[in-house]
Structures are given as structure tokens and as C-alpha cells.
Chains A and B, each alone.
Chain A
Amino acid sequence: MNMKVIREDDELTHIKLSGRVDLEGIGDLDLEFTRHTVTRRKPTLVDISDVDYIASIGLRMLVTAAKVLNKFGARLVLLNPHPDVEDVLRTAGFDKVMPIEHDYERALETLKTAA
């Protein structure tokens, strides 16, 4: 898994994950992910268009961040998942706790709504 910070300001956090979000892929990056998402307490857009695989440990990383952000009234929105990855997210019921969007502008609108 790779993580790239696209934008970090007072308004929002925008990061992009790529590769395999599984036990090996995440490695120590979950701490980095937490630092850039949870610690900032801003509405967070996570672009997962280049994530080709996700296992339950990856789902846990995302939902843990979403839960904490939610406590601070900030949403975590997932952008552009691959169909197989989206299927896992929906199967796990995570689309109800972390909105999934396929359009950047629409994702920004969703981020503005209260968690």
C-alpha cells in the first residue's frame, strides 16, 4: 500500500491510497494514516481508485478513522473504489458509515454535510 497526501489545510484532508490494503500492504502505514486523518480532525476524503485489493484489516483501518472523525463532527468519504473493492465495502455495510462517491465534486459536497 502507498499513501500520498494530496491536500491538508483548515478545510479538509485529501489523501490517496494505492495498492493492496491488506496486512502486509498496510505494515506500519496505519500509523501514518491515523496521523493524517484522525489526528487532524478535518473532513477527510480518501481516494481509493488505485486500491486493487482490501481485506478486513484495511476495512478496520478505515472504519476506525471514520468513527473517531465522526465524534468530532467530520466525515470520511471514500472516492472512486474499484468495483471489487466497492463490493467488499458494501458487503461490510461500510457505505452506510463512510459514504462512497465516484465524482470528486460530489465527494466534496458530501464532506460538507454533518457526520
Chain B
Amino acid sequence: MSYDLSIQLKNRFSELSHLKDALHKYCEFRELPSNLVFAITLSLDEVITNVISYGYDDHEEHLIIVTLRSGKGVIEISVEDDGKPFNPLEFETPDLKCPIDERPIGGLGIYLVKTYMNELEYKRVGGKNRLMMRKIY
């Protein structure tokens, strides 16, 4: 396995479109199936939206580093940020079976990431969150 794509994003929502453009070019180049591209895009979209929305208390510029590497039948995606500690694996799964009136509005993004990815690993290293996601296809 070799590192195939590394993207540095600033903690601004406008950066999400750069990420998606780079991601689509990468997936096209690697000839990945469209449902896999969808799963990767969705997972990164949700994770990074979360980091930008809740990760920082200051108004400073921060960098979020996204790395993708692909091997035979597996894609590894890592996201590193210097935001507040947040372990998505500890996030409670929303109750998807409760009636429409009682359904909570939030909490879906992390649930989708957990569902669309096969493996998630979280580490807090040197003041940074490091999330590794693996998708087997």
C-alpha cells in the first residue's frame, strides 16, 4: 500500500467542495465503483463537517489533513485535526425505530459513517484527533 492522496483543508465549510473535487478525480483515476465513491464522499463529508462545526472554540485557522490510500479491495482514509478531543466511536447510535414525532434531528452523520465504513479506529495523539476509516469493497 502506498499513500495515494493527501489533502489539507482549512476549517471552513467552503473547503468541502475542494475535498469533493479532489476525491472524485482520485476515485475516477482509480476506477472505483460509484457506490464506493458515494460511501467515501459521504463519510468524509460527515466527519469533516463535524470537525468544522464542533471541533474549535476559537476563530483561528486550523488545518485538517485527509489522507486516502487504496490497496486491493480496501480503501483507508485518515482524518487528522487539532480540534477538541472527539471519539466518534463513543457516540451513541440514534434510535431509528422511534415514531416520527419523537425522532431526534441530530446524530445521524456519525451513524452513517459507522454504517458505511467497515472499520473505524480513533486515537488522540499529540493533541490531535486521528480517525482511521477502512472500507472493504
User: Known interface pairs A63-B103, A97-B100. Does A92 touch B111 (Cβ–Cβ under 8 Å)?
Assistant: yes
Binds A, one of B33-41, B76-84, B127-135: B33-41
Q: Are B109 and A23 in contact (CB under 8 A)?
A: no
When each residue 92-113 of chain B gets 1 if its CB lies under 8 Å from chain A and 0 otherwise, what string results? Answer: 0000110011010110110110
Binds B, one of A34-42, A65-73, A106-114: A65-73
Within 8 A of A (CB), among B1-53: 13-14, 16-17, 34-35, 38, 41-42, 45-46, 49
Determine how close the nearest CB of chain A comes to the CB of B44; give it in whole angstroms. 10
Q: Are A71 and B101 in contact (CB under 8 A)?
A: yes
Interface of B is mostly: helix
Chain A residues near B38: list those with CB within 8 A: 53, 84
Instruction: Give the docked Cα–Cα distance between A63 and B99 (Å).
Output: 12
Q: Are B96 and A93 in contact (CB under 8 A)?
A: yes
Q: Which residues of B contact A (CB under 8 A)?
A: 13-14, 16-17, 34-35, 38, 41-42, 45-46, 49, 96-97, 100-101, 103, 105-106, 108-109, 111-112, 115-116
Besides A88-B112, A92-B108, 5 more A-B contacts (Cβ < 8 Å) are A63-B100, A64-B105, A71-B101, A92-B112, A115-B100
